[in-house]
Amino acid sequence: MKGTALLFLIALSVFFSSCSDSTPQQPGDDEDAIGTTDETSESEKGSALPDTADQETVDGEQDDALIADDDDEKDIDIPLNDDDDPGDDSLVDSDSAHAGMGPGTENGYDDGSSNADNVKVNENGELELDNGSDSVQTLLRYVWVPNSADGTISKIDSFTQVEVARYHAGLSALSNPSRTSVDLAGNMFVGNRDDSTVTKIAGHPEYCVDRDLSGTIETSTGPTDVLPRGVDGRSTDECVVWTRLFDASDLNSPYACGGIRGVAATPETGANFEYTGHLMLGCYLGNPFSYRLNGNTGDIMQIFSMTSTTDQTCRPYGYVLDKYGRNWVSCRYIPEWQTPVTGGLAWFDINDVTEQIHYVPDIPAYGGAGGYYGIAIDKDDNIWVTSYTDGFVHRYTPDDSPFADNGTWTSLQISTAHGFRGIAADDSGFIWTISTEEGTGIDSRIYMIDSSIYPDPSSIHGPYILGDDTTHPFQGTGVGIDFKGNVWGMSRCNAGQGYVTYLPVDRSTPVPTVVEAGKKIIAVGNGPYVYSDMIGYNLKNFASKEGWFRHIFEICASSLSTDWQQIYWDAEVPANTRVIIRARTSNDILKLATEPWQIIVEVPSDLSPKVIPDTLPEGHYIELEVRLYSKEVGISPVIGQIAFDYECVDPS
């Protein structure tokens, strides 16, 4: 038996609408035809979308955010429908049912949806990547703060400015957690400086481990609810996934990874988009090496030399990844350990373990005896570093040579009163850095730098004070940007009671404005010390750029079988962007989330419409996910309608 068309469209821009009250169409109902494409050129794919029918839908659930890494150098322009009824183009007769979501349908995208990450709805109702709107729903919503003097980690919800959990890190209270990095699924890695360990903490319950098989996850619920350490010193919290100890068996050296400073999660994914991001780890003491650790187990996968072809040895103080797979390193110079060891900026290729580290030229006419501290990358692939002692901020612009070692340095002294530790770049081209080593009672402060006119002194904005009339955070360490574009600063306060300050930022004008009246000061643990990517903003925006949206459809009656037919889509896919559509099905809504995904569309390589693979199982429920990827900040694919047709078949 054949049912009427139920066409499924997915628009490009924010999250899905609430459940429709209409019931699924059954076989035998009359329905108009499904659209097909006219003949298209190589660079253009026309709309091929049937009219959409009312359908009952179910909200999807969040899952991990993932990344693809294929490039396409051609612009693929798939024109979007501009008609009020997006299904009017190229209609043909069809007896099939069809379902749809997107602009012009009852299942348009909804800004308030929670089944999406890092996407938004544009003015045409289409889906595109989100660059920090108020409606952004992201797995990377947490600020991770290492309370170094306590051996704990505070987890703060950046949307609510509330500490929602606290965990033990390392093997004891003396572990001294410091550098952090957050993967694309929201999991956090921290290097513990004083006991040669690395700890991974799950950002969301689905990544926690039910070790006692109780059926529940025992985990912290706030700053006073810190689950104890076990007999081996590791946390018993089931969201503390693993702690990896480096000992004498690693490279046969007791200092094989001592004094961990460089920490950077990688943007890798598995074959079916499950997150398998790993960790680049820099060792500062002993024999300086860099490791790639398996993100799921903590096991060593690869070892990278930190010695250049000219025998310069880098002791890593901070890591940042770019979109080309280069791991940039701020190498700190400490005279008593020079054997030879040099400060400066260097990089190595995380995809080629045989390569040695490459130094870039020293900063011209700059002493910088304190060496580099914080390191960040901006939207144009420039590398920024801070100086701890003299108040300078430096920018290195890589060139196109094979080793990026003929680039240019630019320097500006931001302050003569203090130095700087943490530094972060937002995707609008503004750089944020935090002062350090102020005396007791002198508040930490953050400065904003307009990179478009840097190093002109007028590029400096601020300072923005992190204290208020009653609370005076001092000795700033880290600064971070959240996915709503607001700014966070950490102050260690001589290893005493530490604070995190939230500064809301108004981005409605070309130059952002810090709304100091909205400032919030949050007490955390003792001595918070971090100047790395404690939110995941850098990785997601500058080493990868992605977002996804999901929607669940209830289709054929449970007594009928489903025959999947074709899928249709409208999309604009510029160069260096791509779109993936995948699906999973089930007859039981409660089991849908555990069913395997199947990739059914890859744009720009696929043309609309496309036959749905017969490997997709039948099901009363189908969940579609559209994934958007870009390698360029500010450039996004745009998804209009996504639609599929099918038949409801009487199995008898």
C-alpha 491/C-alpha 616 separation (Å) is 53
Phi, psi of 250 (to 5 degrees): -85, 110
Domain ranges of the chain: 15-135+548-649
Answer yes or no: is pLDDT of 119 > 90: no
What per-residue confidence (pLDDT) applies to 366? 58
What per-residue confidence (pLDDT) applies to 230? 97
pLDDT band at 536 (very low <50, low <70, confident <90, very high): very high
User: What residues are paired with 383 via a beta bridge?
Assistant: 377, 396
Higher pLDDT, 416 or 638: 638
Number of residues that make up the chain: 652
Q: Categorise residue 485: left if φ over 0, alpha if ψ from -120 to 50, beta otherwise.
A: left
Both tokens assigned to 453 = 């006119």
Phi, psi of 335 (to 5 degrees): -55, -40
Helix, strand, or coil (residue 275): strand
Q: What is the mean pLDDT of residues 54-59?
A: 40
Answer yes or no: is pLDDT of 80 > 90: no
What per-residue confidence (pLDDT) applies to 584? 95
Q: How many CA atoms lie within 13 A of 446 on its CB side?
A: 34
Q: What does the pLDDT look like over 237-288, one tens digit per residue?
A: 999 999 999 877 776 665 567 889 999 999 876 666 666 679 999 988 777 7
pLDDT band at 11 (very low <50, low <70, confident <90, very high): very low
Q: How many CA atoms lie within 13 A of 117 on its CB side?
A: 23
pLDDT band at 355 (very low <50, low <70, confident <90, very high): confident
- The two beta strands, 162-168 and 152-157, are antiparallel
> In whole angstroms, what separates CA 335 from the centre of its chain?
37
Higher pLDDT, 323 or 46: 323
In 259-352, at which residue ranges do the beta strands (DSSP E only) sit? 262-265, 279-282, 289-293, 300-305, 316-321, 326-331, 344-349
What per-residue confidence (pLDDT) applies to 480? 97
Contact 601, 567 (CB under 8 A): yes
Helix, strand, or coil (residue 205): helix
Q: Which of 65-74, 103-112, 207-216 has the lowest mean pLDDT?
A: 65-74
- Quick one: CA dihedral 611, 583, 602, 33, positive or negative? positive
Contact 181, 199 (CB under 8 A): no
What per-residue confidence (pLDDT) applies to 71? 39
Residue type, 483: F
Contact 582, 598 (CB under 8 A): yes
Residue type, 556: C
Helix, strand, or coil (residue 458): helix
What per-residue confidence (pLDDT) applies to 371? 64
Answer yes or no: is pLDDT of 93 > 80: no
CA angle 512, 515, 519 (to 5 degrees): 135
User: pTM of this prediction?
Assistant: 0.78
Q: What is the mean pLDDT of residues 548-558?
A: 89
Beta carbons within 8 Å of 573's beta carbon, 6+ residues apart: 72, 75, 76, 77, 78, 579, 603, 604, 637
What is the 3 state secondary structure string of 78-133?
Answer: CCCCCCCCCCCCCEECCCCEEEEECCCCCCCEECCCCCEECEEECCCCCEEECCCC
User: What residues are paired with 146 via a beta bridge?
Assistant: 153
The total of other beta-carbon atoms located within 10 Å of residue 77's CB is 15
Q: What does the pLDDT look like over 306-343, one tens digit per residue?
A: 888 888 888 888 999 998 899 999 987 644 344 444 56
Q: What does the pLDDT look like over 178-204, one tens digit per residue?
A: 999 999 889 999 999 999 899 999 999
Both tokens assigned to 11 = 């628009």
Query: Which letter does DSSP use for residue 136 in this model?
Result: -
Q: What does the pLDDT look like over 557-616, one tens digit per residue?
A: 888 889 999 999 999 999 989 999 999 999 999 999 889 899 999 999 999 999 999 999
Helix, strand, or coil (residue 516): helix
> Comparing C-alpha atoms, which of 187, 147, 185, 179 is closest to residue 166?
147
- Quick one: CA dihedral 89, 90, 93, 95, positive or negative? negative
Higher pLDDT, 532 or 31: 532
